[in-house]
Amino acid sequence: MIWLTWRQFRGSAAMMAAVLIVLAVALAATGPGLVSAYSAGIADCTKDNTCDHFYNVFFNEYNLPFMALTLAVLILPAVVGIFWGAPLITRELEAGTYLLVWNQSITRGRWLTVKLGLTGLVAMAVAGLCGLMVTWWSDPLDESATESMALMAPLVFSARGIAPMGYAAFAFVLGVTVGMVVRRTLPAMALTLAAFAAIQLALPATARPHLMAPVTATFQLGRANIDSLNIDREGGGAPRLFLREAVPGHPGSWVLTNELLDPSGRVISGGSSGTGALINNVSSTSGPCKPSSAAGGEDGCLGEINRLGYRQQVTYQPLERFWLFQWIETGIYALLTVGMTWLSFWWIRRRLS
């Protein structure tokens, strides 16, 4: 049975292996260069304290391969589910060959065990390898990325570490089971993609923020957590403050909520949206926040805002939880995979004929 499964699978396995080898060679060739460029840049920028600038330049330079690789790891599990999972059984049903193979001297339960086991393990190995290779390669870039593209950011998180392995296992078994139920290849492929995409989008939005209780903290306002402070040059209007999606002292955190509190602790709306938050208690006609004031400029005005008691309040998942979250998420998908596998065995014994 292992021979037959491998014989039927070897074509697509070879194709995947070829892609994987090309990827591995490309990453191995460029990876060390990336690391040395990064460490040289860091060594330079720490001298004159311009590392924020360096991060931006460095990240922008490699933006394209970074996005492409992240996207590739993201869609790989779906590809496995659609092209390996869905047709696994439907192809046999459509060609009628299931009647040939089910009438050899093995039970269909065993037939499915070998087919699922062998192909599923290869799928997991491919996705796991791919995920870890990309994690290794993009390490310097993940260090330089802004919060929205850092390791904990939903999209990037799903394309790093060991989670892709869990996604691939689940997508594969999902494809197989959907195929068994739908019995036709093309609809099964479409349905697998739709179901898998829905779960992949829903999980980061709903469950992942609560895998562990997020940290809530308040911070003084400063360069690390504000985007800009707009002071009306003509005078009269209150200054407008724009918050950054960042946690001072905890770079790379996944920011869940980001708000500006006034001195009495109430939330001022608009801090993290496009409109900006109005700082009404600060005079813009006199004092540090008056345009062209002596003690003025942005820093002076910000000092005054901090002195009055305005604070940033963020709830976030810190970067240190990255691997813990990876294990939890992989575990969740492992459970889903086990459930789906059980369903497929139940279906092939009871319903499929």
Partner 1 sequence: MTSALQAQALGKKYGKRWALRECTIDIPAGHVVGLVGPNGAGKTTLLKLAGGQLQPTAGDITVLGGRPGSTPAQLAKVGFVAQDTPVYAGLTVAEHLRLGARLNPRWDATMARERIAQLGLDSTRRAGKLSGGQRAQLALTLGLAKRPELLILDEPVASLDPLARHEFMQGLIEATVEHQFSVVLSSHLVSDLERTCDYLIVLVESRVQVAGEVDELLATHHRLTGPRRDLDRLPADQQVISARHTEQQSTFVVRTDAPIHDPAWTVTELSLEDLVLAYMDKQTADNRRAALEVQR
Binding footprint of partner 1 on the chain (CB under 8 A):
1, 3-4, 7-8, 95-97, 99-107, 110, 353
Nearer to partner 1, 4 or 42 (CB): 4
* β pairing state of 240-243 and 254-261: unpaired
User: Judging by beta carbons within 10 Å of its beta carbon (0-12, 13-18, 19+), is residue 217 exposed, middle or buried?
Assistant: middle
The size of the chain, in residues, is 353
Nearer to partner 1, 4 or 319 (CB): 4
Question: Which CB atom, from 110 or from 184, has the smaller least distance to partner 1?
Answer: 110
Which residue's CB is nearer to partner 1, number 114 or number 217?
A: 114
Which CB, 4 or 72, lies closer to partner 1? Answer: 4
Q: To the nearest whole angstrom, how small is the minimum distance from the Cβ of residue 98 to partner 1?
A: 8
Question: Which residue, 105 or 206, has its beta carbon nearer to partner 1?
Answer: 105
CB 88 within 8 A of CB 175: yes
Smallest gap from residue 323 Cβ to partner 1 (A) = 43
Q: Is 76 exposed, middle or buried (0-12, 13-18, 19+ CB in 10 A)?
A: buried
Residue 211: C-alpha distances to residues 112, 203, 205, 227, 333 (Å): 34, 11, 12, 29, 13
> Please, which residues have CB within 8 angstroms of residue 295's CB and are 6 or more apart in sequence?
287, 288
The token pair at 218 is 């308040």
CB of 104 to partner 1, least distance (A): 4
CB 221 within 8 A of CB 241: yes
